[in-house]
Chains A and B, each alone.
Chain A
């Protein structure tokens, strides 16, 4: 039995939800930033760094909002730098190691497809702040989607080696895609009150878009074999993470933890 919504519950749910959206953006942004200076060619180094910056920009807007919701002494920085792994609510997909270029662009494509559908719907949220953030972010995300989709096709339908790597990335990433469209309790409660997006409703359009691009990328057969795999990894949205998140936080939070309150 679902208990009645109380104002206190809705507030906690909203904070969790905003943090979930922010953590997704921050962690993938940080992962992508690991390519800066290491991209396969100069132009793509800049492209992936731009995407990283877009995501970190989205994370900042969301953390600022979350800090207002938390009240007290919380700031966007304390939320990013002083929470531990179990407080993070990002999907597992975004925290996985950087991988090779095929892994990076396919992960980005899976995530951008989700984020594009999500933000499009979130512009109609009852929460005006979330709606405004989504409105601004959806333009960036449609470019990420275009860019990553073209890379998926280019590599999937490229050389034997690039096709092999794309296939390997697909096999590795697939089990992490289900969590994107499986809702956490805070998400489903908030979607009923018109604040959050009901992510299960994104599953059909997500699969459609992904199928369309993977078909063009000559990865149709691999995808069809995977579509029957319904077992999916999950836990990130509720704070149960893979071993990768601890490492990324250690690197990201090291300075603030060692020299509390330092700035430059």
Chain B
């Protein structure tokens, strides 16, 4: 499996059913976008896990820095009024 070192890494996102979001499911190696798409189909949707696939080359993903987590996320801690939890949702709304 030495070839894998030369192939870029891709992140795979799957939409499990219509109306839901694409969710990150994992990553794989592929030589190009076409192969990444087919590999994702073969590796991640063979048990009917999805209806749509996105692949993104991992190099194109910019991630937040864990060391900055405090300044990034903690300020939201004590501001409950920003949460939409005071609304009553009808039961028929399942995926909110």
Residues of A within 8 A of B (CB): 40-44, 46-47, 50, 143, 146-147, 150, 154
Contacts and interface: CB of A to CB of B under 8 A. Distances in A.
B30 interface: yes
A254 B35 CA distance: 37
Contact of B46 (A41, A50, A146, A150): A50
A46 B43 contact: yes
B39 interface: yes
A47 B39 contact: yes
Contact of A154 (B4, B29, B31, B43): B31
B14 interface: no
A41 B29 contact: yes
Contacts of B34: 150
Nearest to A49: B42
A175 to B, nearest CB: 30
B1 A50 contact: no
A46 B42 contact: yes
17 contacts: A41-B7, A41-B29, A42-B29, A42-B43, A43-B29, A43-B30, A43-B39, A43-B43, A44-B39, A46-B39, A46-B42, A46-B43, A46-B46, A50-B46, A143-B41, A147-B38, A150-B35
Nearest to B41: A143
Nearest to B4: A41
A44 B34 CA distance: 13
Nearest to B42: A47
Interface string B37-56: 01101110010000000000
Contacts of A143: 41
Contacts of A50: 42, 46
A41 B1 contact: yes
